[in-house]
Amino acid sequence: MPWFKKQRYTSVKPGTRKDMPDGLWVRCAQCLEILYRQDLEKNLRVCPKCRYHFRIGAKERLALLIDEGTFEERDASLMPVDPLGFSVHGKSYKEKVEETQRDAGLGEAAISGTGAIEGIDTAILIMDPFFMMGSMGSVVGEKATRAIELSVEKAIPFVSVAASGGARMQEGTISLMQMAKIGAALARLDDARIPFLSILTDPTTGGVLASFASQGDVVIAEPGALIGFAGQRVIRQTIRQELPDGFQRAEFQLEHGFVDLVVHRADLKGTVSCILRYLT
């Protein structure tokens, strides 16, 4: 009888191994570090290695910025229509909107209403970069205008969080009209001497930047946010020159006086409340 008996190993049959769930890991777009998703979410979706700020949706932004239980949404029933009968690659604009609404869990690319920021009542507009790239159509423009008018009516500060690829081409001139409409509302806000604080996140471009995002009494940007009217390729082709490193990023805009502050996401709520206390 042998003193030692060799252990016999059994093979694992296909399909019996418990597979690792998908989506546990995320690659940072800047430093390419592989990050555990739960750790990333605990860190407010900011890479702990390079401080890259991942894009976040409007609902997540709302939870980070507004005091719990104080938000009252306005104009949630406003829904986009298809005034031009627009379609591309066989898919209509109406179908595209409905598909995006299901995926994003939102009716449009912006949420508006009232809420408190560390006890300070505000009228607020928050855009969602995952809803058709946060593009501004007639509904987003109307929500922004009504939020500004609500700010005037209640005499409370107006805070906007921009995240947009610009005007929504599927609505044509109607989307471009929103720029003038919002601008007129901001003029009334200024006449009433009510503070407007604008927060620029990645990306803030096109008509949204030109119409209201750049017009705040104080303009704050998140680190690394892309901020500009036209894209770099268009600018290169127009001026026929190479662009400097970091062009159109938040830090470049701060250096050249286009924004007032660049604030880490973890410090954003405290910074906003501090500014609002000073302005009010």
Question: Structural domain boundaries of the chain?
Answer: 22-54, 55-279
The pLDDT of residue 5: 57
CATH number of 55-279: 3.90.226.10
Under 8 Å between Cβ of 113 and 144: no
The pLDDT of residue 23: 81
Query: Quick one: which of 106, 100, 125 has its CA closest to 197?
Result: 125
Question: Over the Cα atoms of the chain, what is R_g?
Answer: 23
Under 8 Å between Cβ of 133 and 100: no
pLDDT digits (tens), the chain, 280 positions: 555 555 554 444 444 445 546 689 999 999 999 999 999 999 999 999 999 999 999 999 999 999 999 999 999 999 999 989 999 888 999 999 999 999 999 999 999 999 999 999 999 999 999 999 999 999 999 999 999 999 999 999 999 999 999 999 999 999 999 999 999 999 999 999 999 999 999 999 999 999 999 999 999 999 999 999 998 899 999 999 999 999 999 999 999 999 999 999 999 999 999 999 999 8
CA distances 155 to 113, 142, 158, Å, are: 14, 19, 9
